[in-house]
Structure 1
Amino acid sequence: MFLQKVILLAATFASAVWAQFDTAQCGTGFDWNKNSLGQDPCIVGSKLDASCRGLAVYTYTPLNASQYYLPPQTNRSGDVMCDCNTVMYSFFMACTSCQNGTIYSWTKWIAQCVNISISQYPVDIAQGTALPRWAFINVTSLPNMTYSDTVAMSVGRDPEALPNSITTVSMVSTSTTGISTLTKNSTDLPVPTNVNDTAKSDNTGAIVGGVVGTVVPLTILAVVAFLYARKCRQQQVQPNGRQANDPCAEYGPSSPFIPFSQYNPNDPSTSPPNLSGPGRHTNTARRTYSGAAEV
């Protein structure tokens, strides 16, 4: 029971350490893209993805400058079902933009999509969130079919789409007259170097976080194992050599190490022990390869 409690504590601590390195957030100056609950696009998008995929949590790893989130991939569970719509595209690009990452066009986003939705969210909206009006922009009418902070800011937040409400294309009618795209918009999607399967990004910071989140709990578990072993050694031994409910009894005491003596053909006591078979021990629990053709 003691060991189980400590292991559970270590696992909880590991999750907490990992989470703080795995949550993307917008930088300063992007209050305009938050919903009425104060949630930025990274938080809203992650809530929608988690709800759509039937997960408790789905996080977006933070981006470094010029990094990006991968578009929906057919080999990633849930991508095609949950993200092949302009709403999720807008949330991903807004989350990328507010971290000074690299955004790219809608056409590149849907390269592996089968069914797409324009200006509507085809899945039930997650509880505990709200979708701002700018998320329903018809990005196909924007220059280069690419998300723009300028357009999103001009469209604004209200009215929002709430859980249990119906989202339709009539929410937003966007005119692109006089709107220019941001200079950091990319025309070509860069080639990914490393993909984080849980959050669709290549991120050094997340790797560092993963190392910290893994090493610390392992250190704790090592200490636990040491304490557990010491506790076993300190337990009172009964006359028969084992305690009735001794959790360590199944392992038994370790055999003392006896070094081999150098073989002397004139001294029978140094002769090696007899082995069964030509050069191997008999082992009924494991099948060994003999070198001959096996049937």
Structure 2
Amino acid sequence: MSLKVLTILGIIANMIAVLPVAEAQTTSLATCLPEFDWMNDSRNQSPCVVAAYMQGACTNGEYIVQPLAPSYHYIGPTVKQDNPCQCSTVVYSLMSACGMCQNRTIEGWSAWQTNCSVVYTQQFPESIPFGINVPGWAYLDVVTKDTFSAAAAKADICK
């Protein structure tokens, strides 16, 4: 190939590299009540938003946290949904906080992780998505008492 053709191909490649790319959809349609703002991360993102991004780490960046209807709670993964993110106590804590901040009930850890082939306690098995600051309380032990504790989470913030 001639130098002129290679130069043109290089210019085209650079133009393609800067074109906007459609990003996968990761968001939360669930919104927290204002009295639960203390659960937000350091970027003021609700636990529902943080949970969506964390779960998106295992689903090609796609995850939407839907709002809960009264008397409902988030449930753990089905056998088909079993993935490292869903089977992490960090995601469980964030989803529990998301349910609580909507004034809904939560499911115990033992019920949440029923369909998990491997569980990750007090750790997240993937890279933390860019733009997310996971609150420290999401890493607290939920296994011992089989539940997420808002009181323990709030106490962790006040340390």
Query: Which interval holds the TM-score relative to the shorter structure?
Result: 0.7 to 0.9
TM-score by length of 2: 0.78
Aligned residues: 134
1:23 aligns with 2:22: no
Map 1:179-198 onto structure 2 (within 5 A).
none
1:91 equivalenced with 2:97 (yes/no): no
In structure 1, stretches of 5+ residues that fail to align are 1-18, 159-295
Matched, 1:48 2:48: no
Matched, 1:66 2:67: no
CA distance in 1, matches of 2:41, 2:80: 32
Q: TM-score, normalised by structure 1?
A: 0.43
Tell me which residue corresponds to 2:155.
Answer: 154
Aligned ranges 1:123-272 → 2 under 5 Å: 123-142=126-145, 145-156=146-157
Q: CA deviation at 1:157?
A: 7.6
For residues 158 and 116 of structure 2, the distance between their equivalents in structure 1, rounded to whole angstroms, comes to 28
**Over 6 Å off, 4+ runs:** none
**Cα RMSD for the two superposed structures:** 2.0
Shift of 1:81: 2.7
Structure with higher Rg: it is: 1
Q: Which amino acid aligns with 1:43?
A: V
| Cα distance in 2 for residues equivalent to 1:70 and 1:89 | 9
Report SS of the residue matched to 1:59: strand
Hey, what's the Cα distance between the residues in 1 that align with 2:108 and 2:158? 22
Query: 2-side partners of 1:61 and 1:119: how far apart?
Result: 24
Report the Cα offset of residue 27 of structure 1.
0.9
Could you say which structure has the greater relative contact order, defined with CA pairs below 8 angstroms and 6 or more residues apart?
Answer: 2
Residue 109 of structure 2 is aligned to residue 106 of structure 1: yes
Equivalent position to 1:122, from 110, 125, 129: 125
